[in-house]
Amino acid sequence: MTQLTETQLFSAFDKKGLVKHGLPSAAYTDNYFFEQEAKHLFANAWTFVGFAHDLVNVGDTIPLQVAGQPLLLVRSAKNKIRAFHNICRHRNLKLVDKSHNCKNLITCPYHNWSYSLNGELRAAPYFGGNKTELPQDFKLEDNGLLEVHCQLFHDWLFVNLNGDMESFESFIEPLQKQLADFNLDDFVVAASIEFDDIKTNWKLLMENFIEPYHVQFVHKTTTNQPLADHYVVEDEHCLGSAVDLTSEQQNKGKEGTLSVSSRYLTLFPNFVLGVYYPDQLGVHLNQPISAGSTHQRRVIYQLKSADQSADEIEKIRKLWISVHKEDHEICERLQQGRHSDLSEQGGLLSPHWESSVRKFQELVADSIRPAFKH
């Protein structure tokens, strides 16, 4: 797009009134906006990046990208997972290009520079001439991998590229309050669902999860959770909705549908958690690929005491694949609609059911405004 000023970009979004406009179409379709999100939003946030259960053994490594930066995760010790910038300090080659176990060393395939699992440079062969010779002013201890802040909450890994951001404890606190009656340690991984890249902006998947307004229309064959029983959750940057059903309502639910009390919670920018009483959790990892493409994965957790049989797990997987496909179709059509000139005004948001979506969009806008100040 022709670069707009902050006032031009957010003119409709910033209008006063009970019924507010959403973000402009450029926020979902424009490559420049997407690039600025990387620099101003994801580079300055606690970003959800993966699952600890994917890194079971010491030496397990996973490459990923956050805010346009190549990073790697590694289990450096039994009880420690670290994140590093995924480049060799020598010629900046991307060190890890696929998930694997690197044993005790992360080794560059270009010139065999080798790093410990703690990021220390252990060897730079022939860098000074002979095999173990080093240049006079070069020290191994000064040229290790650059570490990125990484925190684990339950099975969920978050990284922060900016060391000056809020503490992880402050970041996670609103979610902990919402989960006060849950012992997460009682839940174990039951299944994982990988989806193909979805042709929609990452924010549309987040917004769709946050609001309950669509549930009785989009999911009328896969859920039985009346809109009237829902309420919105807004607790700082923890946004979403919840529904409390009576025992009678739950008993009326059809086999193979979702008809339980639930909480649909997010942490800005990209953490998604569904709580399904009394025995199931679901976590989405939404990874932005481009302005119009997102990769999504869902991990399902169950109480240790719940039915873990293959048949039961397969029933649960089929239900969630169906629910996600319904959401994906809607979000892809939302993305298509953002190419209309009319969507430059951002559409309209329900002050009752979509106030949490508006809060999410305000957090996006506040993060990105510096990029458009002239």
pLDDT digits (tens, 9 = 90+) for 268-314: 999 999 999 989 999 999 999 999 999 999 999 999 998 889 999 99
Kindly report whether the global pTM for this prediction surpasses the value 0.85: yes
Q: Among candidates 87, 150, 84, which has minimal Cα distance to 117? A: 84
pLDDT in tens, 103-116: 999 999 999 999 99
CA distance 86 to 62: 10
The whole-chain average pLDDT of the chain stands at 94
pLDDT per residue as tens digits for the range 245-258: 877 776 566 666 78
**Inter-residue contact 328 to 198 (CB < 8 Å):** yes
Give the dihedral sign, CA 42/160/355/208.
positive
| 71 bridge partner residues | 64, 85
Residue ranges per structural domain of the chain: 47-153, 173-365
pLDDT of residue 341: 95
How many angstroms separate the CA atoms of 111 and 40, rounded? Answer: 34
CATH of 47-153, one of 1.10.357.10, 1.10.10.60, 2.102.10.10, 3.40.50.970: 2.102.10.10
Cα(120)–Cα(204) distance, integer angstroms: 40
| CA–CA distances in Å: residue 226 to residues 209, 215, 216 | 16, 8, 6
193 in helix, strand or coil? strand
CATH superfamily of domain region 173-365: Naphthalene 1,2-dioxygenase Alpha Subunit; Chain A, domain 1 (3.90.380.10)
Q: Does the structure show a pLDDT above 60 at 1? A: no
* Rounded Cα gap, residues 131 and 189, in angstroms: 47
What pLDDT is stored for residue 256 in this prediction?
A: 66
String of DSSP letters for 343-354: GGG--EE-TTTS
Instruction: Look up tokens 């991998």; give the residue.
Output: 145
